[in-house]
């Protein structure tokens, strides 16, 4: 299994971010190989993002090459790019 943690700053208000996350959540249920996704908010640094669990490196890579992934920046009005960390889930 593969995990990804991504965070970003946004030009949207907290309420707009939450509405966008809820609206997009259903779409993620259809991502092949995505075991789980959690939407996150770092209140201390006002950063938003997601924690993903994929069943394989291929599934992870396919998601990040998808139109759904490519649309994140526009959907959330990301400011300054995203910080992304990937890792292999050992156990």
pLDDT for 75: 93
Q: Contact, 59 vs 34, CB < 8 A?
A: yes
Per-residue pLDDT, 63: 96
Confidence grade of residue 15 (pLDDT, cut at 50, 70, 90): very high
Name every residue whose Cβ is closer than 8 Å to that of residue 57 and which is 6 or more positions away in sequence: 2
Q: What pTM, to 2 d.p., does this model score? A: 0.89
Average pLDDT score over the chain: 95
How confident is residue 36, by pLDDT bands cut at 50, 70 and 90?
very high
pLDDT confidence of residue 31 = 95
């Amino acid at each position: 299994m593969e995990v990804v943690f991504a965070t970003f700053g946004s030009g949207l208000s907290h309420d707009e971010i939450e509405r966008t996350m809820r609206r997009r959540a259903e779409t993620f249920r259809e991502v092949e190989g995505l075991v789980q996704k959690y939407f996150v908010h770092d209140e201390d640094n006002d950063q938003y993002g997601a924690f993903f669990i994929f069943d394989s490196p291929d599934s992870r890579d396919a998601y990040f090459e998808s139109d759904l992934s490519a649309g994140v920046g526009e959907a959330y009005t990301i400011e300054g790019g995203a910080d992304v960390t990937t890792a292999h889930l050992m156990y």
